[in-house]
Amino acid sequence: MDIVEAKEELEKKLIDKEGIIGVGANADRGFIVVYVENKSDCMEVPEEFEGYRVECVPVGKTEFGG
Amino acid sequence: MEKLTKKLLELDGVVGVGRGSVVVYVEDEKYANAVPKFLSVGGKKVRVKVMVVGKVRFCDMRRSVVRPIVGGISIGSNLIDNAGTLGFVDLDGRIVTCTHVVGFKNLEGDFTDDAEVLQPGKYDGGGDVIGSVEKISRWVWNSVDHPGKVDAALCSCEVSKYEMEVLSGRNTVYKLVGWGEAGVGDVVRKSGRTSGVTWHRVVDTNATLKVHLGNKFAVFKDVVIVTPPVLPGDSGSVFDKDGVAVGIGFAGSSRIGAYVKMCNVVEEIGVNIERVEGRSVERKKGSLAKGLLASMSLFGIAGGLYFAEGSFNRKPVL
């Protein structure tokens, strides 16, 4: 599974969970990023998925910008 | 008279002095008593009129009436009390902005393509109709199975305009030369109704993001994340790198901003803008999380972002 497929898979598992804001990936460096609302939401995020490191980044609640 | 003017302007609350007859403009009625009722001008006794005019501020051009229209100024829908940003006018003379700026019939986010476009938007006092909505992108609310890719709208324009130009300073503009892409680590620029011209660092170019509107949310795929964040009212701003339009700002949190990619905007709503070959940017290597932290430090954001690497309780695998 390449990193884009892994990111898509992880996204399917996490995106409907409360506090999960988004999922991204850095293909060059080979890791996945999960954006969460608060630090405590990182409990839902694995450290590794399908062999790829997963970083958890609290960013607050995202809203339409006006 | 010059001396008198200087003296009067030194008084607390005096914001101006008129000539002809003597008129003194004050911020509040409470300052009126400090102004003399008569003055001696050239040996003659002259009555002084006092007018209460409030505090005088510099005019905020982006939220005022601007003609010809140009990217980076306030626009909104005639149907709701809002204001966002006019991104730019394309090569066909049509306005590009966000669906959520001109394509909602109410604050609950029900779509319409029947709205007229006001400049400035109602929230900024409301101006004349400058055009009407022609095409909007739509998405499904509260569904993770039907993500959108674009929050963008195309509108006709019935007033004078500067095509492919964006407001920079008070009387200066910069030109968009076409569309392309930015890579992780690149610095991009935007010109918005709220925060003017600002620079941001790209930290993710293929993110899926859940964006909220009240109790609703929508999921967008293939969006770009930047720091520092964009502000409310900046939605619709065009992001560019060296004049190459890379996306339209549409969402953000207290820590990040997000734009939809110009390639998706062009494909979904049919903006007429030329593809700039060879200007898309080489992707720089580096940790995304480090990039976030570095850019926050670069742009002087207090606090800083947290990121994993053992900082929090995490599941080892899912």
Distances (CA, A) of B268 to A55, B136, B149, B250: 32, 9, 9, 16
Q: Cβ separation of B213 and A64 shorter than 8 Å?
A: yes
Q: Determine the residue of chain B that is closest to A56 in CA distance.
A: B308
Q: Which of A20, A55, A62 sits opposite B307 (nearest CB)?
A: A55
| Percent above pLDDT 70 for chain B | 84
Residue A22 near residue B290 (C-beta atoms within 8 A): no
B114-145 confidence digits (pLDDT tens): 999 999 999 999 999 999 999 999 999 999 99
- Mean pLDDT over all residues of chain B? 86
The reply to whether B207 touches chain A by the CB within 8 Å rule is: yes
- Mean pLDDT over all residues of chain A? 95
The reply to whether B101 touches chain A by the CB within 8 Å rule is: yes
> pLDDT band at residue B304, thresholds of 50, 70 and 90?
very low
Least confident of B79-93, B181-195, B252-266, B277-291: B277-291
> pLDDT band at residue B315, thresholds of 50, 70 and 90?
low
Distance from CA of A7 to the nearest CA of B (A): 9
pLDDT at B281 over 80: no
Residue A21 near residue A30 (C-beta atoms within 8 A): no
| pLDDT value, residue B293 | 43
Task: Identify the CA nearest to B100 among candidates B241, B244, B260.
Answer: B260
> pLDDT band at residue B158, thresholds of 50, 70 and 90?
very high
Residue B53 near residue B16 (C-beta atoms within 8 A): yes
pLDDT at B94 over 90: yes
Q: Which residue has the higher pLDDT, B209 or B316?
A: B209
> pLDDT band at residue B66, thresholds of 50, 70 and 90?
very high
pLDDT at B193 over 70: yes
Distance from CA of B53 to the nearest CA of A (A): 31
| pLDDT (mean) for B45-55 | 79
pLDDT at B181 over 60: yes
* Assigned architecture for domain B61-298: Beta Barrel (2.40)
| pLDDT value, residue B55 | 61
| pLDDT (mean) for B94-104 | 98
ipTM over 0.85: yes
Q: Cβ separation of A47 and B253 shorter than 8 Å?
A: no
**Single pTM value for the model:** 0.79
The reply to whether B84 touches chain A by the CB within 8 Å rule is: yes
Q: Which of B101, B208, B213 sits opposite A22 (nearest CB)?
A: B208
Distance from CA of A52 to the nearest CA of B (A): 10
What separation, in Å, do the N-terminal and C-terminal C-alpha atoms of chain B show?
A: 81
Q: How far apart are CA B189 and CA B200, in angstroms?
A: 6
Residue B75, both tokens = 């626009």
Residue B252, both tokens = 């953000």
B225-274 confidence digits (pLDDT tens): 999 999 999 999 999 999 999 999 999 999 999 999 999 999 999 999 99
- Where exactly are the structural domains of chain B? 2-52, 61-298
CA A42, distance to chain mean position in Å, is 9
Q: Cβ separation of B144 and A16 shorter than 8 Å?
A: yes
pLDDT at B21 over 90: no
Distance from CA of B214 to the nearest CA of A (A): 9
Residue B104 near residue B117 (C-beta atoms within 8 A): no
Q: Cβ separation of A25 and B194 shorter than 8 Å?
A: no
| pLDDT (mean) for B158-164 | 97
A-B C-beta contacts closer than 8 Å? 160
* A contact test, residue of B100, B237, B312 with most A CBs within 10 A: B312
| pLDDT value, residue B207 | 97
